[in-house]
Structure 1
Amino acid sequence: MSMATEVPELAARVRDRLARHHPGAVIGELEVLPGGHSGLTYEVAAGDARYVVKAVPPGQRPVGRNDVLRQARVLGALAGSAVPVPGVVAVDETQPAWFAMDFADGEAVEPVLDDHEVPAATARARMLEIASVLRRLHGTDVHTPALDAPAPLDAAGELERWSRTLRAVPLELRPGGEELLVRLADGVPSGLPPVLLHGDFRLGNVLCAGERAVAVVDWEIWSVGDPRIDLGWFLLFADHRNFPQLGQAVPGLPGEAELLDAYGDGGPALPAMDWFRALGRMKMAAIMGHNLRRHREGKHHDPDQERLPPTIAAMIRTARDIVG
């Protein structure tokens, strides 16, 4: 599907800007890039170069996941850093806003969830590799003016936000959820200095070539806050048993303790990680419960959501076990 067919005015703006970057080059059609979950995402060739374009859908406000300028800002702030990200080549703030970034050639595979042919040894090496990438991300200076960082997230605020999401899920879809929220609220840990957070950091959002991380992508929900928020989420994807009826066994993947060691690189262990491990599970249960509820209410028909109840129950049960 070409972008020119769907959004002619936006397509013309993109093509005009890229033509200025590549005088005399043929600018190809803008094709929908599969897998995007926010805004509009396209791929386009300009001569021998390839780019990804992210744009605000016409008629929608540039907020939340549609705030593509915010995504461009964090990518620009990370340019040239120790965190691999695509380079931003054009930004257009005229509404509907869009930006173009380099096409990073690699594969984003979540070993325990995706159908794939990645060798187990490669999947293991990638997980350890991106644990160190996450450490470098958390070492970014959040006070750089280019970032224009929002107010930091703390553990209490993150718990409050996701508690609302879980409580909006019908009780029968979240067995034991209320008890879990009480336990989490009773043990909110003290905060650590805020760092740059990706918000959905995992192998499924890191393009890899072989065992090397090429680009961290999907920055729709980046923020600033406690580093353990990112870590607790990342660790969820180390074990297929966290995802009954969804996950698949991959031999040799590093466990949570090994990933934490790789992240820490010999430094002291982070305190209260169990609380954040449980928080990550609660967040996953809330997200899955929300998606299943929308399906059953007819708001977003997706029969595949009916596979989620065992995983939702497992997330809540194991989170309760972790926080005791």
Structure 2
Amino acid sequence: MSRKLRVAIIGGGQVAETVHASYYLTRNELDVVAVVDSHTERAQSLANRLGIPHAFSDAAEMYRQCQPDIVSVCTPNRFHHEHVLQALENGCHVMCEKPPAMTPEQAAEMRDAARLAGKVLAYDFHHRFACDTQFLRDQVVAGVLGEIYVTNAKALRRCGVPGWGVFTNKELQGGGPLIDIGIHMLDAAMYVLGFPAVKRVSAHAFQKLGNRKNSGQFGEWDPKTFTVEDALFATVEFHNGGILRLETSFALNIPQQSVMNVEFCGIEAGATLFPAHIYKDEAGQLVTLSQKETADNNRHFKSMQAFVDHVLGAPVSIADGEQGYLIQQLVAAIYLAAERGESVEL
């Protein structure tokens, strides 16, 4: 490579610092040149902490001065669409935080813009990059589980309403636990299954605790401005006859503090995702076919590594624009089904 690729980060919050900037700074092929945030002080503070030379409150000015090759979009969900399109228009490869956007139509436009520009667009669905997820995907392809006809995905917290950011603001976030944490286990499940075609979805959403309480494991919030669901339950039916059941919550009176996992039930065997565990029975005896002792927790950096390596030309898999669109389409259908109180066909 004749020169280092120049990187800019849009959004100066926690994930921008602890994941995106922190990873980019480990790569000798990259030069992190700018941070952009609508709050100038936050952009400058992050730049000062990490030794990044430029801080801006205006993205257009950043593009004029810095001309980056790679952009990370780490802004609230409502702004992903405009910031990704702006980056693509300026000739940049883009890593965007999840969810892709607020609507499937926006996600489709982002996918198409990346194709037209000939640039890489990836989303940080980092749980699919765990060794556990890759291992189970390989086992599914090899037929070890046989036909998978029931999948159970859970992203649950007992008292985990985020007390920072805009996670309780539907206008800026697009929803609650489904679009924040449930989408992660949904993506991991769909990835392992090979993205089977969806036939219909049904769902029920609840707002029972977040608008009554004001504090929990992750800080305090104003229940009067809590406008998202605090729990949601959905069933996804596939054209191949299988189903996926999704449970997700910020606040739900469950035994555990939190659950983030997926179970796959196949004809030949079953599996749990984190840590990867494949099991069956033989003549009534419980048999373990393979089992990891601990789950791979280095998922964020592996997601970032895959993106950068892909930009540099390596033949590695990423969560690309098309898969981002499919997940956004499924999330939108689930929310619509919950709102209508009836199944939604896809």
TM-score normalised by the chain length of structure 2: 0.25
Greater helix share, structure number? 1
TM-score (norm 1): 0.27
Q: Which has the higher strand share?
A: 2
